[in-house]
Structure 1
């Protein structure tokens, strides 16, 4: 009988799929949307203040993943899966999750996770050495026992630590909700959702030995938190109706963008004339190239709220992506003005100006795009469009710098390094762009060296 292949590695893989745990981001794609990012930041703001973290240092990132999950991974960034937004019924539920994740950040669990992984691996290596020694002495069964015992010890130590982390983070999240004056009802209801999901999937942690669980039992967590949160003065605090309406809109928008159009139109039938439903259907119709129906929905949205920048952005996007860039300029220009040149909206506006193929629009496109990347350097789409403008006017060094910026964000490090070095060689010595070309080249080179060291 062969021993189980790296039991500890299997559990690490399991942890990467569990709710509210640390996991890498490299294999997943990030969704950028001005309205949704603004909503997430506003939902988190009072919780960040209650946690005594610096507001500007906490980043909220939306991940294109349908699973119900949120996690922290390095620094002070909280990653929220699209599936979690879809599963939540209220903004208050999402705030409960964000409060929990802030607890991971304030406790430094990302760093400690790596430390515990190294410690557990140390136990397995020691058991492997003992096993090899026993095998060389001719005691095959003893060797197998030593190796498996070491794996079990490492696994038990690691999972015990993880359960303690999750339990303490639950309590920290409850404190932050209380400090922000936000009801903990959402935290409780979301944990109950997770428990019901486990039951529907036919999975019960109660069937496992205690030492094999990655998290405390959902039922135990709910009961502990309920007893604590119901005593808090904020328990009966009403939900913020404006925040809830914004959440329902963003949720519907996300659903319409990600789901198959037929599913969207089933879930949001034409008989539903609410703003969230129109939002979702506009994306569904646009994905099916039913431009007139998509524009009818956006026009209905604008009839209700003529100065809503996100409705204007949507109309401009539909027109632009349907091959009508000239018509897209007015709504996108207005959306850019209303949001004071939000980088993501300004990026789309700059793209529309370029897509008209009218050279007289290029100076405005350059101004808009330069302002966009100045406020948000992590915007590869805007960098690409800016590179197009530079190339069109014959400014090849800055076109190559813009390409380097885009390429390094897309992890195409060899090409980023090549473009950054070419830009640096041709840009005015000591200029801001020359310095930036050096920075991008250093970043690309460092990443290439890091990747080589891993091999």
Structure 2
């Protein structure tokens, strides 16, 4: 068991960190993910990273935040997306997060926590010695000072990481030919939010990040000298940003707020997107379909507009009507795994054997493009189960449970698949892999319980 001083330090450290994405809701949307990849590609290359290895994940959280975890994963809160006024502001945030990735900050956490923990342990020993000598009050004072010093040490480390990420992000924007105006505008937005929440602006030493004013001044000195400072925002990307922001608003915000932000009679793509999602979420399929139809009329071959129209039809129980719409969406976006999965789901829902035969290759292609969508594996499992192919149905279930973090479910289904598949085949080997990973996860769970 850790000493109380160490536990207190770790508790304070954990409060300063973003919540794990697993504890929040991950929002999967084909259009948004493609957009985030497109607006970031030049910065990712400028950072010396491979665009194929950097993953952008949208988190359903109203707070204005973004963070990175191990690997090359950038998590962006929906609240940040909605708070941004233009695509350049979003690019500024992403550039900063890429700075954390190239700096290895997620994996270097121990460099800041370990020295702080040592200070805390030393203060604990000093306090224990004072208490043993009969100086109880002095011992408590030593302990308190030690914890304060330990936390200050850790906060200094995180502020240094943030400053380094700011400077790295500025260089990535410059190399990509993107203006830093959006970065500065967003920091000013954060500063305004801090004023609104009455967060002190005069004591940097009690913060995980430098003062916003300090960051703005430091970055302005860099950005204003850069030749890209006056570079215009790409109009095509800005248009895509606005419609995705409308879509996201309709999906995550209260319908009342959506209708105020995008009032009836405003028939732009962002407004139609927002109202269609808001009506659909509120249980008004007819109104949602009216807005979706107007949206498709703006661009009849837009796969994402068709995807929404097909989704509303499908989830309103109009399966047969959704199929031609979703087939058109798949024609115009043959490499979008989430659109292929939605079409596959509609085909499976029909319970028609011929349509299910059409669904299988679509779903197989979807998992070849994106293996990390549990819903795709679920649909494949339904097809295999109805066909009587129990081993592959179990393997699909094992894949799904593994992605959902259900180690026991993954282990049980992988074992069933392993027992029924022919040894040496790719599916047999995959079942074996899932068993190994699930076994490690279950061992870790047992060890945690023993503690």
- Smaller-chain TM-score bracket: over 0.9
From 302, 305, 308, the equivalent of 1:311 is 305
Calculate the TM-score normalised by the size of structure 1: 0.95
Answer yes or no: is the 8 Å Cα contact 1:25–1:73 preserved in 2. no
1:254 paired with 2:255, answer: no
- For 1:356 and 1:336, locate their aligned partners in 2 and report how far apart those are by CA, in whole Å: 18
Deviations 1:316-369 (A, max 9, x none): 100000001111111111111211141111111100001112121111111111
Deviation, structure 1 residue 280? 0.5
- For 1:115 and 1:420, locate their aligned partners in 2 and report how far apart those are by CA, in whole Å: 39
Deviation, structure 1 residue 266? 2.1
Answer yes or no: is the 8 Å Cα contact 1:413–1:447 preserved in 2. yes
From 11, 35, 40, the equivalent of 1:39 is 35
Higher mean displacement: 87-96 or 287-296: 287-296
Determine helix, strand or coil for the equivalent of 1:26: helix
Answer yes or no: is the 8 Å Cα contact 2:95–2:173 preserved in 1. yes
Deviations 1:409-445 (A, max 9, x none): 1111111101101110001111111111111111111
Query: Could you tell me which residue of structure 1 aligns to residue 262 of structure 2?
Result: 268
Answer yes or no: is the 8 Å Cα contact 1:36–1:250 preserved in 2. yes
Deviation, structure 1 residue 118? 2.6
RMSD: 1.6
Query: Could you tell me which residue of structure 1 aligns to residue 367 of structure 2?
Result: 373
Determine helix, strand or coil for the equivalent of 2:67: strand
1:217 paired with 2:211, answer: yes
From 133, 139, 161, the equivalent of 2:157 is 161
1:286 paired with 2:280, answer: yes
**Residues 1:407 and 1:11: Cα distance change in structure 2 (over 3 Å):** same
Query: Could you tell me which residue of structure 2 aligns to residue 387 of structure 1?
Result: 381
**Residues 1:10 and 1:421: Cα distance change in structure 2 (over 3 Å):** closer
From 177, 180, 188, the equivalent of 1:192 is 188
Higher mean displacement: 329-338 or 417-426: 329-338
1:178 paired with 2:174, answer: yes
From 395, 404, 408, the equivalent of 2:402 is 408
Query: Could you tell me which residue of structure 2 aligns to residue 20 of structure 1?
Result: none
1:142 paired with 2:138, answer: yes
Determine helix, strand or coil for the equivalent of 1:444: helix
Deviation, structure 1 residue 5? 10
Determine helix, strand or coil for the equivalent of 1:105: helix
Query: Could you tell me which residue of structure 2 aligns to residue 16 of structure 1?
Result: 17
Query: Could you tell me which residue of structure 1 aligns to residue 320 of structure 2?
Result: 326
Calculate the TM-score normalised by the size of structure 2: 0.96
From 43, 59, 74, the equivalent of 2:70 is 74
Higher mean displacement: 123-132 or 166-175: 123-132
- For 1:431 and 1:396, locate their aligned partners in 2 and report how far apart those are by CA, in whole Å: 16
Query: Could you tell me which residue of structure 2 aligns to residue 337 of structure 1?
Result: 331
- For 2:337 and 2:122, locate their aligned partners in 1 and report how far apart those are by CA, in whole Å: 52
Deviation, structure 1 residue 6? 5.7
Deviation, structure 1 residue 381? 0.3
Determine helix, strand or coil for the equivalent of 1:52: coil
Deviation, structure 1 residue 170? 0.8
Deviation, structure 1 residue 184? 0.4
**Residues 1:114 and 1:282: Cα distance change in structure 2 (over 3 Å):** same
Deviations 1:90-128 (A, max 9, x none): 110000000001111111111222332133122212221
For structure 1, the residue ranges without an aligned partner over 5 or more in a row are: 18-22
Higher mean displacement: 244-253 or 256-265: 256-265
For structure 2, the residue ranges without an aligned partner over 5 or more in a row are: none
Deviations 1:123-172 (A, max 9, x none): 21222122222222222122212211221121111111111111121111
Deviation, structure 1 residue 10? 4.7
- For 2:213 and 2:57, locate their aligned partners in 1 and report how far apart those are by CA, in whole Å: 29
Query: Could you tell me which residue of structure 2 aligns to residue 434 of structure 1?
Result: 428
- For 1:13 and 1:195, locate their aligned partners in 2 and report how far apart those are by CA, in whole Å: 23
Answer yes or no: is the 8 Å Cα contact 1:205–1:213 preserved in 2. no
Answer yes or no: is the 8 Å Cα contact 2:5–2:143 preserved in 1. no
Query: Could you tell me which residue of structure 1 aligns to residue 340 of structure 2?
Result: 346
- For 1:92 and 1:168, locate their aligned partners in 2 and report how far apart those are by CA, in whole Å: 20
Determine helix, strand or coil for the equivalent of 1:55: coil
Deviation, structure 1 residue 260? 2.1
Q: How many residues align?
A: 446
Higher mean displacement: 232-241 or 256-265: 256-265
- For 1:304 and 1:292, locate their aligned partners in 2 and report how far apart those are by CA, in whole Å: 19
Determine helix, strand or coil for the equivalent of 1:203: coil
- For 2:253 and 2:51, locate their aligned partners in 1 and report how far apart those are by CA, in whole Å: 33
Query: Could you tell me which residue of structure 2 aligns to residue 359 of structure 1?
Result: 353
From 130, 135, 140, the equivalent of 2:126 is 130
